Structure 1
């Protein structure tokens, strides 16, 4: 592990204090990915997501500098998360009750800090100990590094989804359950 790496959990109120840093890292990671990855859209996304019950952020810093972060939240009943999902999916797959599925929305590591175990540390810190029986995320189909990492962490592709946001790309929908996790429910890293 990297010397000086610190992981810290943040509530939505605490995250507002570092909002500009979160946005700056997002813009750096997604530079050149197209219109969908604009500052304005991401600020709207963060604002909406931070209002969700159970929203949680984990940051990774080295010597006080933000080098990565991950955040997510439990999907509420009547969530729009699944809008744009490609069929077929198993019956009841998109039904939510606020306790069934944890949505991992972003996992970002600064390009200069990749391949040093930060993404794994962030992932395990946020996801491995969740009480929900399953977790989901969206990932670019051609992001080989991310796809490989997620598979090694127990994630499996279910289908594809194009979010209802303007200019949204097509994503793979990945799912991780207690059965597919390399760590049992209640695992603490």
Structure 2
């Protein structure tokens, strides 16, 4: 991956920064802290700052605990096309989004083998699909449009025909947010292997 891009500031004193693979791996513990804090949050924020897989019931399911996240992240950071942005206020990490180019049978579908459709599988094989694996915002910094800015800034550099993500079926706030960002629900994945039921959402990237 290219070297880290320069800072970009929002109007609320939040700075956005793209990290290299190495930098992202060095920040894995801080990212895990953010992940646990985001998924423990209650009550849920308004849709603008909702994010995929970000509002489970209490207590936090095992899928959202620190060690499972770290295990997934260790794999994801090595995937083709991995790209990650963070949002900070001073030294504090307050948001993160990352994704990668999935393959036809990759973990983006969480083991369901009857999808994707052949044409979507061909797009994945040719590197024309980008999957947002995680989008999270610290509970104390929601309602500021940080989630929206993170996903917009990430997708600016995406060279793909389709962008995907998965959202917990019970996460109505996240679904409302993605719908407001012009994403569409395209499929549903049953609960399996310790993770909750998920919905697949897609969007055509910006021209």
Structure 2 length-normalised TM: 0.78
Matched, 1:13 2:40: no
Contact map agreement 2:97 2:150 (CA 8 A) in 1: yes
- Tell whether the 8 Å contact from 1:86 to 1:159 is kept in structure 2 after alignment: no
Give TM-score scaled by structure 1 length: 0.85
Alignment of 1:43 with 2:70, yes or no, is: yes
RMSD: 2.1
1:20-169 equivalent positions in 2, closer than 5 A: 20-31=29-40, 32-85=59-112, 90-95=117-122, 96-162=124-190, 166-169=193-196
Q: Higher relative contact order by CA 8 Å / sep ≥ 6: 1 or 2?
A: 2
* Aligned-partner SS, 2:109: coil
List gaps (5 residues or longer) in structure 2.
1-9, 41-58
Which of the pair is proportionally richer in helix? 2
Q: 1:56 to 1:75 in 2, by over 3 A?
A: same
Compared CA separation, residues 10 and 51, structure 1 to 2 (3 A): same
| Mapped contact 1:70–1:108 kept (Cα < 8 A) | yes
CA pair 99-124 structure 1, distance change in 2 beyond 3 A: same
Q: What are structure 1's unaligned runs of at least 5 residues?
A: 179-183
